[in-house]
Amino acid sequence: MKKTIILCAICLLAVVTTKAETEIEKEIKKLILDDNAYIAKNLKHKAGAISKKGSLEFWSSGGLLMSMSHDTVIEYDDFNLHPKHIKVIEINATTAVAMYYAEGNVQAKGAENNANYLTRA
């Protein structure tokens, strides 16, 4: 009986430990949610959202690999996406990777509305 209780306590401790978020995870999740809220309110990305070196982006619209310059302005007629299931993996003290799923509706400026937009980021 004592061994069973100890085993249960160890399992519970393991579950609690794996659920605890680090400060980096909290910070990155907040950054993703805050950026999303900014876009929803302003219908455009924050200035400087794209690296000074530009970016390579995989678009689901058929464009596949797109090269974006730093000065690209991304605007929307409608933006109602919701990030969910955000997972942050810390690589080292200065590097982390975030993955998440976003769903909702989105309409890029001058484009058709996508009322059931589902994507992984």
Distance CA 92, CA 61 (A): 34
The one-digit pLDDT tens for each residue of the chain (121 residues) are: 565 555 555 655 655 555 578 999 999 999 999 999 999 999 999 988 889 999 998 877 666 788 999 998 889 999 999 999 999 999 998 899 999 999 999 999 999 999 999 888 8
The model carries a pTM of: 0.76
Q: Are 39 and 45 in contact (CB under 8 A)?
A: yes
- As a three-state string, the secondary structure of 29-54 is HHHHHHHHHHHHHHCECCCCCCCCCC
User: Where along the chain do its domains lie?
Assistant: 22-120
